[in-house]
Structure 1
Amino acid sequence: MERLIEPDAFRDVLGRFASGITVVAGLDDGEPVGFACQSFASLSLDPPLVMLAVGRSSSSWPRIERAGRFCVNILAAEQREICARLGRSGPDKFAAVPWSVSEHGTVRIEGALAAVECELRAVHEAGDHYLATAEVVALGAREDGSPLLYFRSRYAVGAF
């Protein structure tokens, strides 16, 4: 089958959709594990569900999937370095990241704009990604701050 849409064109055009940046984080054998994720959205109010897209090449996702619980930490403008740390592969990604374990056994990043704690419900294959759905079990949010955004393959800061 002939490819109608080139990957570079797809990335360029969809890069014009500004998105918030999150860190999806959980515990695996008592150790924090996570990754930066911009493909996150609310899905349902009743029951409260969210969805996220995870690259199939992620080395962190299998560990989070195995744990079955995670927190989607919505990053604040000043957390660009945290995003950069958790957006790359390698050991000790959490070494300089302030975090704590929630009462639901997920990893909350200190200073995040919001925290959405979840229990995994389903994972579907979707091209070169997995589409995961999860039920929200707890929420938390700061009253102040601006979001860290991603727009046209660069960080952007929203002032609200």
Structure 2
Amino acid sequence: MEQKTTSVLAEAFREVMAAVCTPVSVVTTMDGDRPHGTTVSAFASLSMDPPMVLVALDRESELLALVSESGRFGLNVLGHGQADLAKRFASKGKAKFENVPWTFSNGIPQLPEASCSLACTVHGLVDGGDHVIAMGLVLAAERRDASPLTYHKRAFGTHATAEG
């Protein structure tokens, strides 16, 4: 049975999710010979053996169509200080990579300043309401010494270690 979301529930859910601290990432793939990407906050580790992640992509996004077609995507966890890059890739349009340094690694565009990068092949796509969950089998993983960019209460920040 399908549940209809009321405006009250939708607003309460939106407020709860705003209070959850999430890493900010840019998912990338190729559009022919042109890199394409978008900012996401819904991604997680799925499996250690084999190494897999999942990422939620808007059902209407051009990126989802490209990821479905190519069968590959990159996940770039942005570092603290990259909020402008997060905003740039959250916008609409085809010029997101204009004047943005990137490399081509494992057949996927990679943002070299990101705190972490993964290269993945699509292991499966699962319906998730207004999003589609892309499960990615990790081909390559790279970590840099940079604090991650996070999003919490509609603002960018970073992680701070709790004093014990």
- For Structure 1 versus Structure 2, the TM-score category normalised by the shorter chain is over 0.9
Give the TM-score, by structure 2 length: 0.90
Show structure 1 runs of 5+ residues with no match.
none
CA RMSD of aligned residues (A): 1.5
Give the distance between the partners of 1:61 and 1:86, measured in 2 at CA.
Answer: 14
2:139 to 137, 140, 158: 137
The answer (yes or no) to whether the contact 2:73–2:121 under 8 Å persists in 1 is: yes
Give the distance between the partners of 1:48 and 1:14, measured in 2 at CA.
Answer: 27
> Taking structure 1 as reference, are residues 34 and 6 closer, same or farther at Cα in structure 2, changes over 3 Å only?
same
Partner of 1:153: 154
Q: Which amino acid aligns with 1:118?
A: C
Partner of 1:8: 11
Q: Which amino acid aligns with 1:148?
A: L
In the alignment, does 2:33 pair up with 1:26? no
Give the TM-score, by structure 1 length: 0.92
Q: How do 1:37-56 residues align onto structure 2 when only pairs under 5 Å count?
A: 37-56=40-59
Partner of 2:79: 76
Per the TM alignment, residue 2 of structure 1 is displaced from its structure 2 partner at its CA by 5.5
1:58 to 57, 61, 72: 61
* Cα deviation digits, residues 19-47 of structure 1 (max 9, x gap): 00010001121110111011000001111
Per the TM alignment, residue 6 of structure 1 is displaced from its structure 2 partner at its CA by 1.7
Q: Which amino acid aligns with 2:156?
A: Y
In the alignment, does 2:117 pair up with 1:115? yes
Percent identity between matched residues is 32
Give the distance between the partners of 2:112 and 2:5, measured in 1 at CA.
Answer: 43
Q: Which amino acid aligns with 2:158?
A: V
Count matched residues: 158
Q: Which amino acid aligns with 2:134?
A: A
Give the distance between the partners of 2:128 and 2:68, measured in 1 at CA.
Answer: 16
The answer (yes or no) to whether the contact 1:15–1:153 under 8 Å persists in 2 is: yes
Q: Which amino acid aligns with 1:52?
A: V
> Taking structure 1 as reference, are residues 97 and 6 closer, same or farther at Cα in structure 2, changes over 3 Å only?
same
